[in-house]
Chains A and B, each alone.
Chain A
Amino acid sequence: MTGTSALRFSGLGKRYGRRTWALRDCSLDLPQGNVIGLVGANGAGKTTLLQLAIGLLKPTEGTVSMFGRPLRMDSPAGLAEVGFVAQDHPLYRGFSVADMLRYGNSMNPRFDRPGAERRLRELGIPTEHRADRLSGGQQAQVALTLALAKQPRLLVLDEPVASLDPLARREFMKTLVEAVAEADLTVLLSSHVVTELERVCDHVVLLHQGRVRLTGDIDDLIAGHRMLTGPRTDDTAGVAGLIAATHGTRHSHLLVRQPVGMPAHPRWEANPVGLEDLVLAYLARPDTEPPQAASPPPPEPAGPGRRLSIVTDPSAAERQA
């Protein structure tokens, strides 16, 4: 399930107009079977990257391959492998929810209509209602249901919860996580809300100003970084793998990338960091060079362990176990 790549970007770049590069020098290998979060501020190039990944955009330079083959979005087979939920989860105006399901059914050979109907029933979304009169959360659920019923191998979601209220966000993510647990599915979703991703993702890609700042398995990233706290000092030159330093009146806080188990200097107290702190620290780095780890990259991720920890439905967790 893991090991092979779902998406591989090589030297990918996209330029709008003459000189505005929305994305540059993007080389990534996204592992199959993972839930991959794409993080970045607004305008960081997340939507561009996602649309390049599914062929809605053509790269200015570089290549995209999906499941080991060049992207073929002009063939039905290539299209069938990908499910996409666009940012505003568009649905046809005037269509009922049932119409949307029939739409999916007639546009996709592998469409799982009974499954989609069951899912909507469980969510309490009436199929006879007009899709555009549903609440935002319900519309997002319908869009997700359509994309899932297509039975894709790769599901791409562009800011799926950005326009939803907290409750609807939670419901949406729950549906997503349950779907991932049921199928052999790789998910790539973008968000500017790190906390949303932390609960569902195995892997994170951090984009900043059109470039990849950080990428890796979330557990490994968290294990490979620590926050060193000690008496205030401006002399941080000797600290290995320094990412960011903040100085208070009496204390200095250094975020460092160091191998797991590397002993810290006795003057520093080492503490684990959360994903959000990590992301913010990398976003605050002034340089555009991808940071170098103080040691060889961490070993291969150990299977789809992380996402299980956030499965809220215990039965789903048992199925996976």
Chain B
Amino acid sequence: MLWVTWRQHRAELLACVLLLACVAVPLLITGTAMHAEYTADGVAACVANPAGTGCGQLVTQFLDRHSEWGNRFIWVALLPALAGVFVGAPLLAREFEQGTWRLAFTQSVTRTRWLVTRLIAVGAGLAALALACSALFTWWRAPLDAIDGRMRTTAFVIAAPSLVAVTLFAFAVGVLGGALLRRTIAAMGATLAVYLAVRLPMEEAVRPYLLTPLVRITDPGVTADPGWRPEHDWVVADGWIDATGHRLSDREETAIVREVYGGHEAVYGAGTPIERYLADHGLRHYAEYHPGSSFLTMQLVESAVFLGLAAALLAAALWIVRRRTA
């Protein structure tokens, strides 16, 4: 059974490894250079001791040079879709499409063992690949993460628990899609659609509230610039709050900005006039945020959600295959 699984999926494994190698080479080259720069330019020293002279400028220059590429890792959020579309979806769909399921289901191996063996072996392979990707990306981004923390989307989606769990989820979507649709191309398309339909709202709307965010209320910023320091908090909502604890709606905020700037609502950011207005009217800033220390907890919660979904989908696929008749 293991040999069969290997023989059926070795081409996919080879393609994945080649793809990983193609990505790894440029990342290793640029990453090594950036890591060297991070130490040599004194950015590392600034992260360790933010009060050092010129740290703000030094860090800003470093981020200017590297965060553009670093932020492109956001596309890693779509990487698991490849596992779902090209590995998960064909796993059963191809058997049904090419009629080989009749061959497979009439050998001396029960359907349960046949499918479970394949799911475990292929799933383990994908998990290992996801882990390798995660290690590579996380290593590359380490200097940026030391400055910005790991809670924000780009740093979060490349972390190992999340990437592995989401990869297995995408795989499960593909497997179930193949069991239901029995056509490879249809299953691939459906897998991509379902993956995006779950992943995007999950990252945009659900993850910020997987844990209850902390709330920080600060006085209007009439004080001087406190200087640069690493910012590991992930702010998921912010605005203004009045003395009664009422959070101002967008419309109320816009009205104030209009009032202060005489109708030019295009003025962006908290200029001093706004801050003065806030102070005069008893308004203060609030921010809902997740501290950098919540990283591991949130990783585990999100992974548990995706692994739970994956388990449910794979169980459904197994149920279908056990009941599947001509």
Q: How far, in whole Å, are A79 and B103 apart by their CA atoms in the complex?
A: 12
Would you give the shortest CB distance from A104 to chain B, in whole angstroms? 7
Among A80, A83, A103, A104, chain B packs the most CB atoms within 10 A around the CB of A103
User: B322 to nearest A CB, angstroms?
Assistant: 8
Instruction: A95 to B95: give the CA distance in the assembly, Å.
Output: 14
Contact in complex: A79, B99 (CB < 8 Å): no
Total residues of chain B contacting the partner, CB 8 A: 25
Q: A106–B104 Cα gap in the complex (Å)? A: 12
Interface size of A in residues (CB-CB distance below 8 Å): 35
For the complex formed, measure the closest distance between the CB of B199 and the CB atoms of chain A, giving whole angstroms. Answer: 32
Give complex CA distance A26, B1 in Å.
37
Q: Does B106 contact A102, Cβ atoms closer than 8 Å? A: no
Contact with B along A131-148 (1 / 0, CB 8 A): 000000000000100100
**A9 within 8 Å of B (CB atoms):** no
- Complex alpha-carbon distance, A47 and B109, angstroms: 23
Q: Which chain A residues border B4 with CB–CB below 8 Å?
A: 103, 106-107
Q: Is B98 an interface residue (CB 8 A)?
A: yes
In the complex, are the beta carbons of B3 and A102 less than 8 A apart? Answer: yes
Stretch at the interface among A49-57, A165-173, A197-205, A288-296: A49-57
Q: Which residue of B lies closest to A102 (CB)?
A: B3
Check A51–B326 contact: CB distance below 8 A: yes
State the CA gap A5–B98 with chains docked (Å).
34
Query: Which of B100, B107, B112 sits near A90, CB closer than 8 Å?
Result: B100
Interface of B is mostly: helix
Interface string of A109-151 (1 = CB under 8 A from B): 1100000000000000000000000000000000100100010
A95 in contact with B7 (CB, 8 Å): yes
Give every chain B residue within 8 A of A150 (Cβ-Cβ).
Answer: 107-108
Q: Complex Cα distance A110/B100, Å?
A: 21
Find out whether the CB atom of A82 lies under 8 angstroms from the CB atom of B106.
yes
Q: B102 and A76: CB pair below 8 A?
A: no
Can you name the residue of chain B whose Cβ is closest to the Cβ of A50?
B326
Residue numbers in A under 8 Å from B108 (CB-CB): 76, 79-80, 107-110, 150
* Those of B83-142 within 8 Å (CB) of chain A: 98-100, 102-113
Q: Please determine whether A86 and B102 come into contact, CB atoms closer than 8 angstroms.
A: yes
What are 28 inter-chain pairs, A to B, with CB distance below 8 A? A47-B326, A48-B326, A51-B326, A56-B106, A56-B325, A74-B111, A74-B112, A74-B322, A76-B108, A79-B110, A80-B108, A82-B106, A83-B106, A86-B99, A86-B102, A90-B98, A91-B100, A91-B103, A92-B100, A103-B7, A106-B4, A107-B1, A107-B104, A107-B108, A107-B109, A108-B108, A108-B109, A143-B103
Q: Other than A54-B106, A88-B99, A107-B104, give 13 A-B pairs with Cβ distance below 8 A.
A: A56-B325, A58-B325, A82-B106, A90-B98, A92-B8, A94-B11, A102-B3, A104-B107, A106-B1, A107-B1, A107-B107, A108-B108, A150-B108
